[in-house]
Amino acid sequence: MVKPHRGDVVDVTISHINEKGQGIGALDDYTVRVRGGVPGDQIRGYIRKTRNSRREIELKKTDLLDAETQRIEPRCGHFGTCGGCVWQDIPYESQVGIKQQLIVNCLAEAGIDLELDTPLLNHTSFFYRNKMEFSFGVSENGLAELGLHVPGRFDQVFDLEACFLQSESSNAIVAYVRDFVRSRQLSVYHLKHHEGLLRFLTIREGRNTDETMVILTTSGDDFGDAKELGEGLLATFSNIICVIQSVNDRKAHVAFGDEEILLAGRDHIFEKLGPFTFEISPSSFFQTNTHQAEELYRRVVALADPKCDDRVLDLYCGMGGISFFLSERVKHLLGIEVSDSAIQDAVRNSARNKIENCTFMVGQAEDLLGQLAEKDERFDLVVTDPPRVGMHPKALKALIKLRPNKIVYVSCNPQALVRDLKVFSAAGYQIEYGQLVDMFPHTPHCEVLVRLVDRQ
């Protein structure tokens, strides 16, 4: 073939999707990646980027010539401009089917024989998130903007009219903050010059308590209007419980800072999952889909099927969500988590809920598991919910040495999951059960539950 160049218009057929949800096709000996493409699509587009050394092409879709998967009118007017929703033009049930096939393909490629159960669908495909981060930017005419990022651009923001993933009230909060910023002509942080004040707006909601937290992430510059903005938000929106300024004076473009300043209200909100109440601070990790998190935790308990005298280990326990649900059924549970603030949340919330059979340790899983193995500790059941990269090889080795009877693995990355499952299988564990739990409609993100049993 003629060497492809940026701007060339080509046609490609999508054969499958990768772990990032990109449609994958082939153009001679080049691999073609297309955002929004799904298996069976015939797509025409222009080449945005080539990596000749890797024989890869990134294609920008301009026309859908033919499709095996039905397309519908997206609800959001920002669809295509926004880097968030990838599949809002695909019926929800079809989205889940594509995710299920992605997991099936990953298992098959790894030689793992596992028939997945029927997926657990989300109760709704819209308004399911309890947390969103919005970014500040500047328009071409110098006007402050507040919205989300365009696909693949960390430095380009579009002005948000409405997002249908969080609550409807969050859109009104975004509009209020934007109007305040413009009326006071407040500056926006510049990612190259590292000047300016405003960086992010984060909205966290207790979906079962109707309590909302608003966090404004700023640089270290003076924010003389901060108190007025905080008190104005509290007075205007009855569901807002607290407004907090998070000061990030570093160059890292992240929405959490090194200092938190309470502008109005109290410094936390509450959320409920099942019978448990959680106190959530600005830095707390909490599943961003409240309703489906409760369903996920109940499924973990059902798959674990613990006995009343079981000793349980919860790896990567976060602030203790899964631990609390298991605590009602077991003798004792030990939670391990690398984040000190998450462990503090777990301890505080276990006391709040009068849970007395859970203890928590802070540290790297691979280090603490090794110490437990050296002490010849024994656990009947282990639940592991590792980060996207999967379990550390040393953690895997130490966990196998502990030899629990049963393991329930919660994964957000099918590629990392199958890699770890192969290690467990080689060590004598039988992979008994697998199920997709859909947490994030309109995105390719997958949450998978797997149960393993020791057959040695």
**Mind listing the pLDDT tens digit for each residue in 272-327?**
999 999 999 998 889 999 999 999 999 999 999 999 999 999 999 999 999 999 99
CA 82 to chain centroid, in Å, comes to 17
Residue of 61, 192, 204 whose CA lies nearest to 137: 192
pLDDT-derived band at 258 (thresholds 50, 70, 90) equals confident
Whole-angstrom distance, CA of residue 110 vs CA of residue 19 = 14
Region 447-454 average pLDDT: 97
**Mind listing the pLDDT tens digit for each residue in 115-143?**
999 999 999 999 999 999 999 999 888 89
Domains of the chain: 1-69 (2.40.50.140), 101-123+289-454 (3.40.50.150), 131-273 (2.40.50.1070)
Whole-angstrom distance, CA of residue 23 vs CA of residue 35 = 6
**Mind listing the pLDDT tens digit for each residue in 338-380?**
999 999 999 999 999 999 999 999 999 999 999 999 999 999 9
- Beginning with the edge strand found earlier in the chain, give each strand of the sheet holding 198-206 in spatial order: 157-159, 144-149, 131-138, 198-206, 211-218, 240-247, 259-265
Determine the pLDDT at residue 324. 97
Residue of 409, 439, 403, 422 whose CA lies nearest to 304: 409
**Mind listing the pLDDT tens digit for each residue in 422-442?**
999 999 999 999 999 999 999
190: β partners:
none
Determine the pLDDT at residue 3. 82
**Mind listing the pLDDT tens digit for each residue in 188-226?**
999 888 999 999 999 999 999 999 999 999 999 999 999
Determine the pLDDT at residue 114. 94
Determine the pLDDT at residue 80. 87
Other Cβ atoms closer than 10 A to 422: 14
Determine the pLDDT at residue 4. 86
Q: Are 36 and 61 in contact (CB under 8 A)?
A: yes
Determine the pLDDT at residue 268. 95
Residue of 280, 353, 358, 352 whose CA lies nearest to 326: 358
Determine the pLDDT at residue 218. 97
Measure the CA dihedral 36/40/41/43, to 10°: 120
Specify the pTM. Answer: 0.93
- Would you state the structure tokens that stand for residue 111, as one six-digit string? 């030689």
Q: Which residue has the tokens 């328009």?
A: 139
List CB contacts of 43: < 8 A, sequence separation 6 or more. 11, 12, 13, 14, 23, 25, 34, 37, 59, 61, 63, 64, 65
| Backbone phi and psi for residue 14, each to the nearest 5 degrees, phi listed first | -85, 125
**Mind listing the pLDDT tens digit for each residue in 10-31?**
999 999 998 888 999 999 899 9
| High-pLDDT (> 90) share of the chain, % | 87
The catalytic residues are 412
Determine the pLDDT at residue 192. 86
Whole-angstrom distance, CA of residue 429 vs CA of residue 449 = 16
Length of the chain measured in residues: 456
**Mind listing the pLDDT tens digit for each residue in 377-415?**
999 999 999 999 999 999 999 999 999 999 999 999 999
**Mind listing the pLDDT tens digit for each residue in 78-107?**
998 898 899 999 999 999 999 999 999 999
Whole-angstrom distance, CA of residue 264 vs CA of residue 217 = 15
Give, in degrees to the nearest 5, the angle at Cα 320 between 317 and 382. Answer: 45
pLDDT-derived band at 1 (thresholds 50, 70, 90) equals low
Q: Residue 152, by phi and psi: left (phi above 0), alpha (psi -120 to 50) or beta?
A: left
**Mind listing the pLDDT tens digit for each residue in 40-72?**
999 999 999 998 888 999 999 999 999 999 999
Whole-angstrom distance, CA of residue 119 vs CA of residue 318 = 25
